[in-house]
Chain A
Amino acid sequence: AQTVTQSQPEMSVQEAETVTLSCTYDTSESDYYLFWYKQPPSRQMILVIRQEAYKQQNATENRFSVNFQKAAKSFSLKISDSQLGDAAMYFCAYRSRTSGTYKYIFGTGTRLKVLA
């Protein structure tokens, strides 16, 4: 069974600095999707960035980028130039692409604090 692990329950970063959130996963599948979602205090989850496993190039969305290491089954999120609005819970998620199955597995989350 697939699992997603976020080993950092909480992280802190100084405003304008860079922070990296870790995510590892376990799967026997070769093709899948990976996502990072943000959950601010308002509770509503928002997609931050996504990656297709067959693509070697790391996804980038403005200040957010990922370091996707398929062999190591690692999918870390880097936030550059951190802003106060980045403070939130961040969830890593795995989505299976195996035909006939539906698996969308979330990690337990990392709470990011941004210090002014």
Chain B
Amino acid sequence: IAGITQAPTSQILAAGRRMTLRCTQDMRHNAMYWYRQDLGLGLRLIHYSNTAGTTGKGEVPDGYSVSRANTDDFPLTLASAVPSQTSVYFCASSEVFGSYNEQFFGPGTRLTVL
């Protein structure tokens, strides 16, 4: 059982380029989330999806978009990357949206925008 996988593990990207971070879970969880982790700021929610076909904005959604075409996949796209988007990105899932359930996290993607 893989849980949550993310790809790539790390990436260096030129400013202005488009980039999609991939996230796949095999637990059939309804809810999925994208966070960014920055030193001194903890984790901040970018976007979430409570079920396939629906998405919502988190705390820091600007410059990012997501889609949830099916239960398993939840890609995060940076349409035109900027240096302030340099961060470690974590995808997470939970069985039910917005509940007491544990969130399961992926291993993260380290993104550097130059």
Contact = CB atoms under 8 A, between A and B. Distances in A.
A42 B105 CA distance: 12
A102 B98 contact: yes
B12 interface: no
A58 B45 CA distance: 27
A109 B45 contact: no
B8 interface: no
Interface stretch (B13-21, B35-43, B61-69): B35-43
B33 interface: yes
Contacts of B27: none
Contacts, number: 46
A97 B43 CA distance: 19
Interface residues on A, range: 20 to 34
Contacts of A107: 42
Interface in B42-76: 42-45, 48, 50, 56, 58-59
Contact of B98 (A95, A106, A108, A109): A95
B77 to A, nearest CB: 21
Given A91-B43, A107-B42, A43 B102 contact: no
Contact of B56 (A45, A95, A102): A102
A52 interface: yes
Nearest to A44: B107
A108 B45 contact: no
Given A102-B98, A106-B43, 6 more contacts: A44-B106, A45-B92, A52-B100, A102-B48, A102-B50, A104-B103
Interface of B: 33, 35, 40-45, 48, 50, 56, 58-59, 88, 90, 92, 97-98, 100, 102-103, 105-108
Give 5 nearest A-B pairs by CB, closest first.
A45-B105, A106-B43, A106-B42, A108-B42, A47-B102
